[in-house]
Amino acid sequence: MKIGRNDPCWCKSGLKYKKCHELFDEKLLEYRNKGFLVPDHSLIKTKEQIEGIRKSGEVNKAVLDYVAAHICPGMTTEEIDQMVYKKTTELGGIPAPLNFEGYPKSVCTSINEQVCHGIPSSDIVLKDGDIINVDCSTILNGYFSDSSRMFCIGNVNEEKKKLVEVAKESIRIGLNEVKPWKCLGDMGAAIHEFVKSHGYSVVREIGGHGIGLEFHEDPFVSYVSRRGEEMLMVPGLVFTIEPMINMGSEEIYIDESDGWGVYTEDGQPSAQWEVTVHVTDDGYEILAD
């Protein structure tokens, strides 16, 4: 439905359309007519929604800070799950992974060659030399946030340390490309080029995603994309940056015994960091890290 210039803006700001998103929509149409993939209004978050996601992200960050302060050799991944559930609910949130599409736990804990979606268990004990990704996601007042961190357990060898550091640096490389009216492919290509320069590979089948009003929204965010392609990044778009970096081959497989755990095909370690990002008028804001 076409909005009149003097009608209330679709973003519910209370302003007239002509003083709010009229020029924005004209610019979107211009890019669409040039062949770019542009987000529809349902993916553009309002100021109120951004604030809700921001507060959810504050809880998510506090939970990961709590894990960082307590994680250690000899701890089981089930204990990490219990910490995440306890801290999230204490802060008024709900762990987003719990019962999501049948997932049985509050957090994902992926160790060494496990790429992602590792299910916590009392049988899995952190050992000296392990690297682990703790992927935490929070619902607060109906708003979703998502971020993950790598942790080095005890004395980790230099090869694994470098992998973890390159994975973390790849996030910064990607963030440098997050600018309004550029393409997601610019960010993905920058990450891929950086990771390849260190002799590592990037998982293709699993990527980032839109987030905020639901756990997983459009767009799918690839890190093996090409510049000038994928969805246009525009102010109000919120998505995750979470490249999965493998020491060896990019090939992966899913554990058939639980239907969740993803592993490297060659048994080499994998590392991943994740942030939730909001595209602003002049750059980006990290909402969860």
pLDDT tens string 132-152: 999 999 999 999 999 999 999
In a domain, 11, yes or no: no
- Angle 47-70/77-90 helices, nearest 10 degrees? 140
Strands 262-264 and 114-116: antiparallel
What tokens were used for 50? 């951004």
Indicate which CATH number applies to the domain containing 74: 3.90.230.10
Cβ within 8 Å of residue 176, ≥6 positions away: 190
Rg (CA), the chain: 20
* Over residues 12-23, mean pLDDT: 93
State the pLDDT at residue 2: 79
What tokens were used for 209? 């995603």
Q: Where are the beta strands (DSSP E) in the chain?
A: 94-95, 108-111, 114-116, 131-140, 143-152, 182-183, 201-202, 208-210, 217-221, 232-233, 238-241, 244-246, 252-254, 262-264, 270-272, 275-279, 284-288
In a domain, 60, yes or no: yes
In a domain, 27, yes or no: no
For residue range 43-75, list pLDDT tens digits in order: 999 999 999 999 999 999 999 999 999 999 999
In a domain, 16, yes or no: no
* 247 closest CA partner among 135, 157, 186: 157
* Over residues 228-235, mean pLDDT: 97
* 247 closest CA partner among 151, 166, 153: 166
In a domain, 89, yes or no: yes
Helix, strand and coil percent figures for the chain, each rounded to 5: 30, 25, 40
CA dist 264 and 254 (Å) reads 9
State the pLDDT at residue 166: 98
Backbone region of residue 249 per phi and psi (left: phi > 0; alpha: psi in -120 to 50; beta: other values): beta
State the pLDDT at residue 146: 98
* 61 closest CA partner among 118, 137, 115, 143: 137
For residue range 250-282, list pLDDT tens digits in order: 999 999 999 999 999 999 999 999 999 999 999
pLDDT band with cut points at 50, 70 and 90 for residue 130:
very high
For residue range 173-222, list pLDDT tens digits in order: 999 999 999 999 999 999 999 999 999 999 999 999 999 999 999 999 99
State the pLDDT at residue 252: 98
In a domain, 29, yes or no: no
What tokens were used for 39? 């987000």
Note down the domain range covering 260. Answer: 37-288
CA dist 260 and 254 (Å) reads 6
* Over residues 100-125, mean pLDDT: 98
* Over residues 96-104, mean pLDDT: 97
Q: pTM, whole model, 2 decimals?
A: 0.96
- CA-to-CA dists, residue 193 to 63, 179, 197, angstroms: 32, 18, 6
Q: Are 28 and 38 in contact (CB under 8 A)?
A: yes
pLDDT band with cut points at 50, 70 and 90 for residue 1:
low
What tokens were used for 54? 């921001």
Compute φ and ψ for 120, nearest 5 degrees. -60, 150
Dmax over Cα atoms in the chain, in whole Å? 64
* Residue 253 DSSP code: E
Structural domains in the chain (count): 1
Average pLDDT, the chain: 97
In a domain, 22, yes or no: no
In a domain, 251, yes or no: yes
